[in-house]
Structure 1
Amino acid sequence: MGKIKYGLPTLLAIGFWMDATSATVLELPAWERNYTGTIAGKPVNVNITRFGNSLNGYYCYEPCNQHKAVIVLRGSLQDKEVHLEERVKALSGYWNAEISSSEIKGEWTSADKKRHFPVALIYYKPKNSPDIVLVTNTNDAGGYDPSKEIDCGNTPAISAIKLYRDGKLIQTLDTASVGTCSPFMPQWGDVNFDGYPDLSIVTELLAGPDAPVQTWLYDPAKQRYVDAPASYQEITSPEIDAEHKQIVSYWRGGCCSHGVNVYRWKGKTIELIDRGESYFQPV
């Protein structure tokens, strides 16, 4: 198969261990989508994340960089219906809409339920993206309770990511990712600049920008995802600089020093090519 068949996934599913001793697994759908469209005829940009039947997100009226207020969304997905509450400090409205693989269409209602406006949003699936499903399995000995909302005291750990195509499991990637107040979402990006999307997930959130990340590179010859080299796995909070084909990592060393490292690929390994550091004397 050529590279055209490998793009971003359309859906994620997360599995949560309900009991570590009995090893009962819940596999729950999960995805992150960016929608564009209108509410009451006004253009908006909407970001929604799904974990199981829970939805969280935010939106802003375009142009977003000129509007400081970000409207927070929270609610649920039941069958093909979206039910959301939105807040700007206080409750500001409700959404009741139908969702498909590419659209959200329905109605916005004001908090006092006196005003009603249409919601029409579109999700643009990446061109030539396959129908891939991700499933993450969690083994949470900390006591995650799936009957309750995910929050800072009830966050599942992710132990594996399963990749599906057309309902068929094609690969399982083991991991150990523990979020603080919500699970970390697997992220796609071409980290080695070979034209194929690679997969990464934050494994834990430490103080400062130094978050460890686990990464798998897509191998077109094997048509599978393989572990990135140790030289890349050791980079914390890597950011892709596609224009210069390099990886940038911001870091913090204690209370007073911070800096940035710049890396570039050399063959199948990645090397540090530049480094900047700043140090402030504590007062």
Structure 2
Amino acid sequence: MKHLTYFIIFFSSINLFGQVNYSGFIDKYPIELSADINTSGNSYGVYVYTAYDDPIVLEGNLQKGKLIFFEKNSKGNKSASMTFEKFNLDSESIEGIWKDLKNGKELKITLSKKNEIGDGIIQKTSIGDRYFRIVADDQNVSEIKIFQKKTDKLIQKLKVDCQFRGVHCISTGDYNFDGITDFSIFESSYAGPNTSSLYFLYNPKTKKYFESGFSGTSLEFDAKRKRIIETNQCCAGSSVTTAEYKVIKNKMILEKERCFKWSEKKQELIERKVSECR
């Protein structure tokens, strides 16, 4: 009998202590910074030099009032740090030090809180000469804005209704396997590890993105096989369905489905008829 050993990965949502947005300077260079401060102390952020608008990803932590972020190079090694000795989420302005970890060079950081985010919150992901901002409240994203780097020219606006995840809302990938990078936005999380996203494909003729209509639970994209894999788990992992799709003319076409049920006797997931998972 065919069976599947299934490893359940538990995803925890980003539990924010605060989402903050600042504008200001590193030395004399204008920047904009957005950050997600986590209740556990782990913090994530992104900043841009406003002359270039190329997102620089930050990872760090907040401990006993000291907030420190690290930048990483292309090899994943820490290359620079941002340190704020007396960070207070409620402060209208903060000061800190940017440091090059290779040569030790230090520059002063001066930032003021942006209470009104008219253009939206910068996302950590960008594509080529374009970068993303999202318009959101504490719970939901209502709009995606796509800008041209350096000029800040607004290229496109897209209305959405998605869960807010700070600077982590946007992801990229080649979702229709045409060799062109597309983007997606996290839509919602459900029971267990199940999630959904909205997928936007790039039209090289119009040079704009359009919503694909791709739908499904926890979709994964196999670039090598050019297939979309859907995984739907319920009942605390005791029932799992998978589906495989090919893409024809930007449409998801179902090729096969599989059903797996937990066997108390064998202590593993066993393949069953698809109808048993419905």
Normalising by the smaller structure, the TM-score range is 0.5 to 0.7
In structure 1, what is the equivalent of residue 188 of structure 2?
Answer: 204
1:278 has 2:260 as partner: yes
1:196 & 1:82 partners in 2: Cα distance?
A: 23
Provide closer, same or farther for how the CA distance between residues 214 and 28 of structure 1 changes in structure 2, counting only shifts above 3 A. farther
Q: Which amino acid aligns with 1:135?
A: R
Moved over 3 A (4+): 26-29, 71-87, 93-100, 103-109, 181-184
Gaps of 5+ in 2: 1-19, 24-31, 51-55, 84-98, 104-124, 266-278
**1:120, distance to aligned residue in structure 2 (A):** 4.5
Change over 3 Å in CA distance of 1:268–1:84 after alignment to 2: closer
Aligned to 2:109: none
Q: Contact (CA 8 Å) 1:164, 1:171: kept in 2 or not?
A: yes
Q: Which of 1 and 2 has greater Rg? A: 2
Query: 196, 204, 210: which one pairs with 1:226?
Result: 210
Q: Is the Cα–Cα contact under 8 Å of residues 106 and 118 in structure 1 kept in the other structure? A: yes
Picking from 132, 135, 138, the partner of 1:137 is 135
Q: How does 1:1-283 map to 2 (within 5 A)?
A: 52-54=33-35, 72-73=42-43, 86=61, 95=68, 105-106=79-80, 119-120=101-102, 130-138=128-136, 140=137, 155-165=138-148, 166-179=151-164, 182=166, 184-229=168-213, 232=214, 234-255=215-236, 256-280=238-262
Change (3 A) 1:275 1:209: farther
RMSD: 4.7
Deviations 1:234-279 (CA, angstroms, capped at 9, x unpaired): 2122111001001111111334311221111122311111222111
Q: How far has the Cα of 1:74 moved from its partner?
A: 5.6
How far apart in 1 are the matches of 2:183 and 2:46?
A: 27
CA distance in 2, matches of 1:280, 1:169: 51
Q: Deviations over 1:182-228 (max 9, x none)?
A: 56521110000111111111211111233121111101111110110
Q: Which amino acid aligns with 1:239?
A: E
Task: Compute the displacement of 1:77 (Å).
Answer: 6.4
What number of residue pairs does the alignment pair up? 189
Q: Which runs of 5+ in 1 are unaligned?
A: 1-25, 30-50, 58-70, 110-116, 141-154
Measure, in 2, the Cα distance between the counterparts of 1:161 and 1:84: 24
TM-score, reference length from structure 2? 0.53
